[in-house]
Structures are given as structure tokens and as C-alpha cells.
Amino acid sequence: MEEHQEAGKEGKPSSTAVDLHGDSSLQVEISDAVSERDKVKFTVQTKSCLPHFAQTEFSVVRQHEEFIWLHDAYVENEEYAGLIIPPAPPRPDFEASREKLQKLGEGDSSITREEFAKMKQELEAEYLAIFKKTVAMHEVFLQRLAAHPTLRRDHNFFVFLEYGQDLSVRGKNRKELLGGFLRNIVKSADEALITGMSGLKEVDDFFEHERTFLLEYHTRIRDACLRADRVMHSHKCLADDYIPISAALSSLGTQEVNQLKTSFLKLAELFERLRKLEGRMASDEDLKLSDMLRYYMRDSQAAKDLLYRRLRALADYENANKALDKARTRNREVRTAESHQQLCCQRFERLSDSAKQELMDFKSRRVSSFRKNLIELAELELKHAKLQGPPGTPCQGAMETRSWGNKGGTLAASLAIFQCQQALHGKVQDPELGTQEQSSRRATTPINPGTDPTQG
């Protein structure tokens, strides 16, 4: 089961329980990553007791292109035609983030130093988040390979893990990219052709069902992923909006001489906290929802590819049958036609069997991943209720204890707002009579103000 990376410590994302089907004979992880000017260097660490390897623990440094090379090697390998090849990790893309940082640096002078510092902080956090995500994606790719009973035994995989030196794999140049693009077009045309081919009927209901399912599912999950991204983006914009508001409120507060002073200052503080909370909610959603959807979009594409390969094999089989019949009628080259047909038949059946298994695995993987992420999403949103909630809150009982790095949660916001209200209430006075704190009469707040919801 693949897991998504936790926002763990810097540079060393720790993966939570990767289920290797109980088999720990090959453990792969990315123990470190360094972001250089325009590339990222991953340190891939392997722990294994397999006889094939020279040592039990070793690491190498790899770049993104080498991951892609590995992925392509799997895809092009006929032996794995019946398997779902784990989708390749996306290229690390810091462009957008870098641009924003740059723009901020040149930025306009109308923002105060505080605002500038905050915005810079936000952008740096964003950069860091993207970095962690890309590390996670690459790690998950490797871990899935290591977990798969067949794929883990690939020679290229061993080379990738062990070979100390640079694999000298350059990124695809334009011709190759174009080639890849054309191949995709040819593939989809081929697929259309095959399905339209007369006489080709799907013998197995299971696959028929899977095909229709996957086609629809893939489109919809792609849609959902796009929109989830937009939601996250809006959340981020919102969080960023709080920065100038908070700044304006504090300058208003400092200028006021009357009792509005406290109000404004407190409100400014509140907005600052709200900003952090909104930012966290945005990144929670990003991790748990968007990323998951994105991953399964790619995975379902890989599943579709598998189905295509099987279909191709079926078509080949049919063709071989026809050729055999023709040869028999003409009574020429029957032997070759027969052996060819045999081969095709075997191949087809092999593919069908493994495809079935793979697709069922895909389904259970998907379901459990969704489950985990949806639960985590809901819990994160509620998290603070468990830690801060006053006794008797309905949500308290319903939650397991989880301690995530960031203490998000909507009740943190409520707490922040309450504290602000309390403060405002304490100074209720007519300006003419001067400010008198009604602290003696202030009711004690049942919510413990001592716990800082912004910690962590």
C-alpha cells in the first residue's frame, strides 16, 4: 500500500507504515534530498538481505531523470506487460514558487517590513512543501516497486539501487519527447481501432466491466483533482489576504488613542492566527485530498495502459488465429502459423491472468488509500477539538489520538476568536468617562486560554 509522505522533519521525510506485504527483505527509502539550482538530488537508501546485493545497507544519489529512465525501462519490458507499472513521479517543479519569491524580492515598497517578512515566510513554507512532496512522490514510486513480487526482481532496478556512479541518463531531448508524444497518439488510435475491429469480442466480463469503469473513473478523478487544486489555491489566497488586513489593523490600532486601540490590535492578532490556520487547512487539503486524487489519476492511467496492452495481445491473438486459418486453407507455412498462434495465445492468457490480479490489487489499494486519507482529512479538520475541546464536546469521543506536525483545526480558530472577544469585552467603556477595565466583572472563560493553538 503506498502511503503519502508526512510533512516530517526537514530533508528527511519519514514514511509511515509502508506495507510491504509483510516482506521486509527489501526496504527502500529516500533518506535525504538536496535541492540545487535546477535539479534535485535524492539519496536512495536500500536495506536488504537479498543475496543479490553486495552489502546489506547502501545508498546512492539519483536524479529525477534516472527515475524516469527506470520507469521507462519497466514499461518497455515485455515481461511486465501484464502488470500495472507504478506511475513515474512528476518532475520537481519549483518554477512557480521561485518566481513568486523573486517577485517578492523586487516587490513594491508599499508593504511594511512585517508584511514582507510574513509573505516571505509563506513563500518559503510553500517552497518547502513542494520540496517535501516531490521527495515523497519519488519515494513512493520506489517503494511500490520494491513491494511488488515481480517488479522488485528486475535487473535495472538493482542497478538503479546499487550502482554507485552516475547512470549517465540524460533527460529526454526534444526528439525523444516528441517521439513519446507520437507514441501516445498512435497508441490511442490503435486502441480505438482494436475495439472497433469486428470479431473482437471481449471474452471476459470482468475485463469489460473494468474497461468501462476505468475510462469513466479516470476522467472523473482527473476533474476532481483539478478542482481540488483550485480549492486549495483559493484557500491559500485567502490566507495570504489576511496579511495586509492584519497589518492595516495593527497600524490602525497603534494610531488610535481611544478604546478602539485594543479592539483593533486584538483583531489584528486574531487575523494573524486565522491566517496561519487557513494556511494549514489549505495544506492539509492539499496533502490529503489533492495529492491523493492526483496519484490515483496517474495510477488509473497506468491501469488503463495495462488494459490496452492486454487488448493488444487479444487482437494479436485474433490475428494469429485468422492467419492460421488462412495458412491451413492454403496449406502453406502451417507450422509457423501454428507456433505463432500458440505464442499469442499463451501471451494473451498470461496477460489476462496477471491483469486480473493487478486490477483487483489496484482496487483494494485505492479503497484503503482513500479511506486513510479521507479519515485523516476529517481528523485534521477537527483535530483541535480533541486537544482543546471543553468536556462534553460531542466530537471528543469520536476521535483517535493522532499527532500531526501541524495543529490545524477549526476549533483553534474558535478559540482564537473567543480570546479576542474576551479582550474586547473587558474594555467596555464610554470614551468620555475614560477606560475602566471591568476585569473584576469579567466572567471566567471555561476555555483554557493557556494552550496556544498556534504551537507546532
Partner 1 sequence: MAAEREPPPLGDGKPTDFEELEDGEDLFTSTVSTLESSPSSPEPAGLAEDISTNSNGPKPAEVVLDDDREDLFAEATEEVSLDSPEREPILSSEPSPAVTPVTPTTLIAPRIESKSLSAPVIFDRSREEIEEEANGDVFDIEIGVSDPEKVGDGMNAYMAYRVTTKTSLSMFSKSEFSVKRRFSDFLGLHSKLASKYLHVGYIVPPAPEKSIVGMTKVKVGKEDSSSTEFVEKRRAALERYLQRTVKHPTLLQDPDLRQFLESSELPRAVNTQALSGAGILRMVNKAADAVNKMTIKMNESDAWFEEKQQQFENLDQQLRKLHASVEALVCHRKELSANTAAFAKSAAMLGNSEDHTALSRALSQLAEVEEKIDQLHQEQAFADFYMFSELLSDYIRLIAAVKGVFDHRMKCWQKWEDAQITLLKKRETEAKMMVANKPDKIQQAKNEIREWEAKVQQGERDFEQISKTIRKEVGRFEKERVKDFKTVIIKYLESLVQTQQQLIKYWEAFLPEAKAIA
User: With respect to partner 1, which residue has the nearer C-beta, 345 or 424?
Assistant: 424
Q: Shortest approach of partner 1 to residue 448 CB, angstroms? A: 12
Rule CB under 8 A: choose which of 105, 405, 431, 449 binds partner 1.
431
Report the distance separating Cα 305 and Cα 292, nearest Å: 20
- How many residues at the interface with partner 1, by CB under 8 A? 80
Interaction between residue 252 and partner 1 (CB under 8 A): yes
Rule CB under 8 A: choose which of 50, 188, 421, 452 binds partner 1.
421
Q: What mask of x and - would describe binding to partner 1 in positions 371 to 410, judged by CB under 8 A?
A: x--xx-xxx-xx--x----xxxxxx--xx----------x
User: With respect to partner 1, which residue has the nearer C-beta, 180 or 449?
Assistant: 449
Contact window for partner 1 (CB under 8 A) among 74-82, 170-178, 193-201, 266-274: 266-274
Rule CB under 8 A: choose which of 75, 167, 260, 387 binds partner 1.
260
Q: Shortest approach of partner 1 to residue 299 CB, angstroms? A: 14
Among positions 14-73, residues that touch partner 1 (CB under 8 A) are none
The answer for residues whose C-beta is within 8 angstroms of residue 84's C-beta and 6 or more apart is 299, 302, 303, 305, 306, 358, 359, 361, 362
Q: Shortest approach of partner 1 to residue 454 CB, angstroms? A: 15
Interaction between residue 196 and partner 1 (CB under 8 A): no
User: With respect to partner 1, which residue has the nearer C-beta, 165 or 401?
Assistant: 401
Q: What mask of x and - would describe binding to partner 1 in positions 267 to 296, judged by CB under 8 A?
A: x--x---x----------------------
Rule CB under 8 A: choose which of 442, 449, 452, 456 binds partner 1.
442
Rule CB under 8 A: choose which of 322, 370, 402, 405 binds partner 1.
370
User: With respect to partner 1, which residue has the nearer C-beta, 284 or 316?
Assistant: 284
Interaction between residue 178 and partner 1 (CB under 8 A): no
Strands in 26-35's sheet, in edge-to-edge order, are: 26-35, 40-48, 57-63
Q: Shortest approach of partner 1 to residue 248 CB, angstroms? A: 4
Grid coordinates representing 288 are 490529503
Radius of gyration (Cα) for the chain, nearest Å?
Answer: 29
Q: Shortest approach of partner 1 to residue 247 CB, angstroms? A: 8
Among positions 200-239, residues that touch partner 1 (CB under 8 A) are 213, 216-217, 220-221, 223-224, 226-228, 230-231, 233-235, 237-238
Q: Shortest approach of partner 1 to residue 380 CB, angstroms? A: 9
Rule CB under 8 A: choose which of 248, 334, 345, 387 binds partner 1.
248
The answer for residues whose C-beta is within 8 angstroms of residue 286's C-beta and 6 or more apart is 129, 232
Among positions 310-369, residues that touch partner 1 (CB under 8 A) are 363, 366-367
Interaction between residue 425 and partner 1 (CB under 8 A): yes
Closest by alpha carbon to 194, among 316, 339, 12? 316
User: With respect to partner 1, which residue has the nearer C-beta, 43 or 251?
Assistant: 251
User: With respect to partner 1, which residue has the nearer C-beta, 163 or 370?
Assistant: 370
Q: Shortest approach of partner 1 to residue 169 CB, angstroms? A: 36
User: With respect to partner 1, which residue has the nearer C-beta, 171 or 244?
Assistant: 244
Among positions 94-123, residues that touch partner 1 (CB under 8 A) are none
Rule CB under 8 A: choose which of 259, 301, 319, 451 binds partner 1.
259
Backbone angles phi, psi at 393, to 5 degrees: -70, 135
Interaction between residue 242 and partner 1 (CB under 8 A): yes
User: With respect to partner 1, which residue has the nearer C-beta, 64 or 407?
Assistant: 407
Say if strands 57-63 and 26-35 run parallel, antiparallel, or are unpaired.
unpaired
Backbone angles phi, psi at 19, to 5 degrees: -85, 105
